[in-house]
Structure 1
Amino acid sequence: MYDLMKMSPSTDLKDQTISIRMAGVDAPEGSHFGRPAQAFAQESLAWLKSHAEGKTVYCQLTRRDQYGRIVAIPCLKPRLLPGFLATGKCLSLEMLRAGWVEVYEQAGAEYGRWGKDEFLRIQAEAQAARRGIWKYGVNIESAAEYKRRYAAATEVEPPSKTVTSAKKASKRSLLRRFLPWSR
């Protein structure tokens, strides 16, 4: 038996945690790898935490993505008639309805039993009502565009290996000058 007050999630649950990518939706990108966060990234994550944290979430696993994450359709436990056939609210659709994510339309997108048309219909409703990320209109940089922009910027800029190689060569030449036997 675990004492939950003393349990550290970072150590005790590390090998029991599964990264899941929510099927059918793409959220604003948070800051990582030295890149700034997209607008509304914090608000989107806060919405998800407030609606899922501490609750029972059932995940219909669909596949693994190119990063090894499991793509799943997360559903909250139904309030009435919990059981095998009863499903609660789909978190992907609820986030879409609240306007905190957009429809993921890249290759291999999964939409479950609802289908892509239902996802697009709900997104259009959120856009028309200017909810969440659509607060200032529909002309926003999508999460996919954001990722492409930074991928293109990374490809254009030469990696810092040339600087590192030059530093190593400089150190080697100094060693050779002062320690001739180090060749």
Structure 2
Amino acid sequence: MTGDTDEKIKGDLSDESTANVKALFYGVGAATAIIYGHKFYKRILCRIPTSLDIPKKTYRHRYLYGKVTSVGDGDNFRFYHLPGGYRGGWGWLRKIPEVNKFRELKGQTIHVRLCGVDAPERAHFGNPAQPFGDEALYWLRSYILGKKVYVKPLRMDQYKRTVSKVEVLKWNGYRDVSAEMIKAGFGTVYEAKVGAEFDGKEMIYRHYEKKAKRHRLGIWSIPARRRMTPRQYKNKYS
């Protein structure tokens, strides 16, 4: 009888030990799933509302996907981050905003400054407009407004804008927006000595600028004696 009792006790202890191991296993698994789920959410699905909210580790290492909601000047625009795209629920579970909804989107968009390019200045602060200032704005609006784009943050400028490389999908593949603006003659290669960002594309941009100049496109159609680059304009009126 004693032997049977001992065996029963051993069996109960074995079952209890197995149950504890299973509980520990499931607990560790659940904790791991929560940790990695949180990391996945933070990296892939968590929306970044403004330039000030972009993590430092994102700069130069990661593209952000989203929609251009407004274009206010020839070389900058507002961008609504759509993390995860369609798979992140955008367009069917999460609402994608319409364009030019300034009040509704206050504090919800990233202010992007195109890298490597300077567009002609429009009239502001009592200063006259540069030739092709309005045309550069219209070109950028027609090229990206309402479109889904990829933004690669490079740095923050003094106006709290995110200087970025920007790519948009067109019929002939992904296009570098800065390069296309320079090609069309609606912008020059960024000339400032401090704070210039090209993401390794400076020589390509300069090649496109020479080509646009040779073909007298956009601002390059103005005779040299009457032409000012955006940088020269800023130096004159700043």
Normalising by structure 1, we get a TM-score of: 0.71
Q: Is the 8 A contact 1:101 1:133 kept in 2?
A: yes
State the Cα distance separating 1:37 from its structure 2 match: 1.1
Larger C-alpha radius of gyration, 1 or 2? 2
Q: Is the 8 A contact 1:93 1:119 kept in 2?
A: yes
Aligned residue type for 2:186: W
Q: Go from structure 1 to structure 2 and tell me whether the alpha carbon gap of 1:49 and 1:145 turns closer, same or farther (over 3 Å shift).
A: same
Determine which structure has greater relative contact order: mean sequence separation of CA pairs < 8 Å that are 6+ residues apart, divided by chain length.
1
**Structure 1 position 141 matched with structure 2 position 228:** yes
| Pairing 1:1-183 to 2, within 5 Å after superposition | 9-77=101-169, 88-106=174-192, 107-114=194-201, 116-139=202-225, 140-151=227-238
Q: How many residues align?
A: 143
Aligned residue type for 2:208: I
Unaligned 5+ runs, structure 2: 1-93
Unaligned 5+ runs, structure 1: 81-86, 152-183
Aligned residue type for 2:214: A
Q: Is the 8 A contact 2:191 2:231 kept in 1?
A: no
C-alpha separation between the residues in 2 aligned to 1:10 and 1:36?
A: 26
State the Cα distance separating 1:57 from its structure 2 match: 1.2
C-alpha separation between the residues in 2 aligned to 1:27 and 1:102?
A: 7
Cα deviations across residues 136-163 of structure 1 (Å, max 9, x unaligned)?
Answer: 2445111111111112xxxxxxxxxxxx
Q: Is the 8 A contact 2:122 2:129 kept in 1?
A: yes
State the Cα distance separating 1:4 from its structure 2 match: 6.8
C-alpha separation between the residues in 1 aligned to 2:170 and 2:97?
A: 26
What value does the CA root-mean-square deviation take over the aligned residues? 2.3
C-alpha separation between the residues in 2 aligned to 1:138 and 1:74?
A: 30
Residue 169 of structure 1 corresponds to which residue in structure 2? none
C-alpha separation between the residues in 2 aligned to 1:40 and 1:78?
A: 24
C-alpha separation between the residues in 2 aligned to 1:46 and 1:72?
A: 20
Normalising by structure 2, we get a TM-score of: 0.55
How high is the sequence identity, in percent, across the aligned residues? 37
Moved over 3 A (4+): 1-5
State the Cα distance separating 1:132 from its structure 2 match: 0.9
Aligned residue type for 1:37: A
C-alpha separation between the residues in 2 aligned to 1:56 and 1:3?
A: 11
